Amino acid sequence: MSDPARIADDPRFTELRGAYRRFVFPVTVAFLVWFLTYVICSAYARGFMAHELVGNINVALVFGLLQFVSTFGIAAAYARYAGRRLDPLAAALRAEAETGLRVPAARHAAKGPLPDVRLAEETA
């Protein structure tokens, strides 16, 4: 097992943290603005929120349902982003921590088991 301080000092770990923050912080701010807009409109713009769009369906109901849609959309976008940008870096760092050998992040972009790099070195 590798030393956590050594992994924390690795430039790939810094890149992993930066990539995570580049997604999470802006999306969190955007969602909080959207959510607070919904709450504030519900409290102070009751006439607007009570406006009926179709039959008994009003703006408040549509905004409330869109909260669920945006939550699931963010979760799907994060899963896609993590699969493309975060998981390969994390897998390379994990493999290095477990084996003690440096594994390039590009090797983990494809799904599948990790190659046995120790066996290849022992036979050489």
| pLDDT in the model for residue 103 | 66
| pLDDT in the model for residue 6 | 79
Structural domain count, the chain:
1
pTM: 0.73
**What is the 8-class DSSP label of residue 113?**
P
Range of the domain at 8: 4-123
User: Residue holding tokens 């940008």?
Assistant: 85
Positions of the chain with pLDDT lower than 50, given as ranges: 1, 107-124
Which is nearest to 103 in space by CA: 21, 10, 9?
Answer: 10
Q: What is the dihedral of CA 24, 98, 107, 76, to 10 degrees?
A: -30
Report CA-CA distances (Å) from 110 to 12, 16, 32, 107: 18, 18, 34, 7
